[in-house]
Amino acid sequence: MDRAIAIEVNRLCKDYGSHRAVADLSFQVYEGEIFGLLGPNGAGKSTTLRILITLLQPTSGNASIFGHDTVREADRVRRLIGYVPQERAIDRFLTGREHLQLLSALYHLTREDAARRINELLKLVDLEAHADRPAKTYSGGMKRKLDIACGLLPNPKILFLDEPTLGLDVQSRLRIWEYVRMLKARGMTVVMTTNYLDEADQLCDRLAIIDGGCIKALGSPTELKVALGGDIVSLTIKETDRIAGLASALANQPAIKTVRTTSNGLDIRVESPEKALPIILETANRLGCGIEFIEYHRPRLDDVFIAHTGRRITDTAEQPVE
Amino acid sequence: MTEYWQEISALTMRWVRRLSREKFSMLFTLVQPMLFWLIFFGNLFQRAADTQVTQAPNYISFLAAGVVVMTVLNNGLAGGVDLLFDKENGFLERLMSAPIRRSSVILSRFIFVMTITSLQVLVILGVASLFGVHPATGLLGVATILLIGMLFGVGLTAISMAMAFSVKSHGDFFSVLGFLSLPMIFLSSALVPLAAMPGWMSFLARFNPMTWAIDAVRPLILSGWSEALPHVAMVIPVMLAFDAICLYGGVKAFRRAMG
């Protein structure tokens, strides 16, 4: 099926001095999908997002939104997009309604259109009762909802969300996910950055795993997990000094694809568990490794992440941006 | 064009709303210090200051021009602070991702700072008149004082915005601000006429645009048109040149910060 392309990113690079924050990034986002940029802090997600929303100019390469170049046709692009920044970009002295009024003037809505749209949005994000209180009285979740209402005010074709649920409690998180799904159902294209694996897994139709400014993997969460091939056996070993020995003994066995050492054991990718498990247990026994805990699971998104980047997403990035 | 005006007026209204909700802090940080200079400093030095030296009937009438220009200085140098906070908390990005002219945000800030400064100058002149200092050039003189204030203020606000867009943190911003403001006052004719200063200070003060502004405002208050006109005629091109330099720097800093 040929799908309409909403965003086209072509060999995008962004340097800060000698540090290359985004290195040769190319991908497409289809109309109507939720596309995720997944990566640890400093991976280049936010920089990429800022280029797409015209706030940064790429060092080389280009990006276009519905065919409009983000540099040469920045104003056209700005009329098509909505943006929800990562920080709580709230003026604490203004009320929720005043935020939306300000933005409706910046999007050149007439007074009547603005009033109608603002009421709709306040209802949508459930802030009607608090609309006329200064934002400094809002809770974190309420500020986030106002943020999202602000991003939706222009009724954008594409909504950009930068870490939409960072620092939110579970309930507010689920609420935000619900909004995002509803927007997709209404036909909106959503691009979001996140460093939460479960968020990417649950919410995104497709995602790009970004690390060190490069795309390491691209596809739907399911595709990515399937592509990894094989299930995962995680061992916790009592004798931590024998982990390395066990790893090398297992590495060349049939039915075992890869072996990765963790702090207290091994993550073993296996082709079929029925063949691999006896070998693993037998080898561990022979080398005198006491198995404290054994777990077997289908590949999860964090396994995908580790397989492509060589580390966990919670590990700090090597080079922080800015 | 109507879109442009819609943007600028909405953004200016935002600054007004913020001010109206920060009444107390605004009152204390902006209005009071200037009045304190005039009321306390002016009266404190009433007898210590030699009227032969100041060439004014009394010290407070000499000081009035200095306090007017100091108000312009402080408001101007602080004019970029709110943009700095907007930059730090992401609000500026939100504004800039909207289809607005890049200049709208900056223009709204200029309009706001100039309006507030002008109102404060009027309050200071009003308070000065309670102490018997009446502008010798009448209402037209007051209008000229406001014009000079605005011309000086535009350049200062541009410096402040350039700093706001260039600094790494607001701590840096406030240290530079603190470092700039007092020397600008001491190395000007605000408190003492140049002739009464130590040579090196009066030498430096001659290059201070603040001195030029004060030297034009002071005869407008103290003497009358015949003495003021040559100064006014001088200060306008000087201020225009000052503004041009500051705006050039400001635009460069803004372009760099906004990609």
Q: Write the pLDDT tens digit of every residue in B229-241.
A: 999 999 999 999 9
* 3-state SS, residue B61: helix
pLDDT digits (tens, 9 = 90+) for A235-275: 888 888 888 888 888 888 888 888 888 888 888 888 877 88
Smallest CA-to-CA distance from A131 within A160, A94, A85, A178 is with A94
Smallest CA-to-CA distance from A248 within A233, A259, A237 is with A259
Contacts with A98 from chain B: Cβ below 8 Å: 14, 17
Residue A152 domain flag: yes
Contact across the interface for A105 and B7, Cβ inside 8 Å: yes
- As a whole number of angstroms, the distance between CA A10 and CA A48 comes to 12
Assess whether pLDDT exceeds 50 at residue B45. Answer: yes
Residue A315 domain flag: no
Contact across the interface for B17 and A98, Cβ inside 8 Å: yes
Contact across the interface for B90 and A85, Cβ inside 8 Å: yes
> Tell me, what's the pLDDT at A242?
86
Kindly report which listed range (A166-170, A240-244, A318-322, B174-178) carries the lowest average pLDDT score.
A318-322
- As a whole number of angstroms, the distance between CA B138 and CA B7 comes to 37
Q: Count helices and strands (H / E) in chain A.
A: 11, 14
Across A304-312, average pLDDT: 82
Taking the CA of residue B113 and the nearest CA in chain A, the distance in Å comes to 18
Residue A305 domain flag: no
Assess whether pLDDT exceeds 50 at residue A318. Answer: no
Pairing of strands A19-30, A5-16: antiparallel
Contacts with A91 from chain B: Cβ below 8 Å: 14, 18, 86, 91
Same domain, A12 and A155: yes
Contacts with B21 from chain A: Cβ below 8 Å: 93, 134
Same domain, A163 and A69: yes
Residue from the list A98, A107, A134 with its beta carbon closest to the beta carbon of B98: A107
Contact across the interface for B90 and A54, Cβ inside 8 Å: no
* 3-state SS, residue A196: coil
Across A7-15, average pLDDT: 95
Assess whether pLDDT exceeds 70 at residue A118. Answer: yes
> Tell me, what's the pLDDT at B1?
78
Interface of B with A (CB under 8 A): 3, 6-7, 9-11, 13-14, 17-18, 21-22, 86, 89-91, 93-100, 104, 258-259
Residue A319 domain flag: no
Same domain, A121 and A211: yes
Residue A317 domain flag: no
Same domain, A199 and A61: yes
Q: Any idea what the CATH number is for the domain that residue A270 is in?
A: 3.30.70.920
**Number of compact structural domains in chain A:** 2
Residues above pLDDT 70, as percent of chain A? 97
pLDDT digits (tens, 9 = 90+) for A273-298: 788 888 888 888 888 888 888 888 88
- As a whole number of angstroms, the distance between CA A107 and CA A155 comes to 10
Residue from the list B6, B13, B91 with its beta carbon closest to the beta carbon of A91: B91
Contact across the interface for B97 and A81, Cβ inside 8 Å: yes
Assess whether pLDDT exceeds 90 at residue B22. Answer: no
Is residue A120 packed enough to be buried (19+ CB in 10 Å), middle (13-18) or exposed (0-12)?
Answer: middle
**CA–CA distances in Å: residue A76 to residues A85, A164, B63, B259:** 20, 25, 54, 17
Q: Does residue A122 or residue B41 have the better pLDDT?
A: A122
Assess whether pLDDT exceeds 60 at residue A122. Answer: yes
Residue A316 domain flag: no
Q: Any idea what the CATH number is for the domain that residue A161 is in?
A: 3.40.50.300
Same domain, A68 and A211: yes
Taking the CA of residue A88 and the nearest CA in chain B, the distance in Å comes to 7
- As a whole number of angstroms, the distance between CA B41 and CA B45 comes to 6
Same domain, A207 and A268: no
Domain limits for position A15 = 5-220
- As a whole number of angstroms, the distance between CA B86 and CA B92 comes to 5
Tokens coding B112? 């706001």
Same domain, A260 and A124: no
Q: What is the mean pLDDT of chain A?
A: 89
Same domain, A168 and A105: yes
Residue A87 domain flag: yes
Looking at chain A, which runs of residues are DSSP E strands? 5-16, 19-30, 34-38, 60-65, 68-69, 81-84, 158-162, 189-194, 206-211, 214-219, 231-237, 256-261, 265-270, 291-297
- As a whole number of angstroms, the distance between CA A277 and CA A280 comes to 5
> Tell me, what's the pLDDT at A155?
93
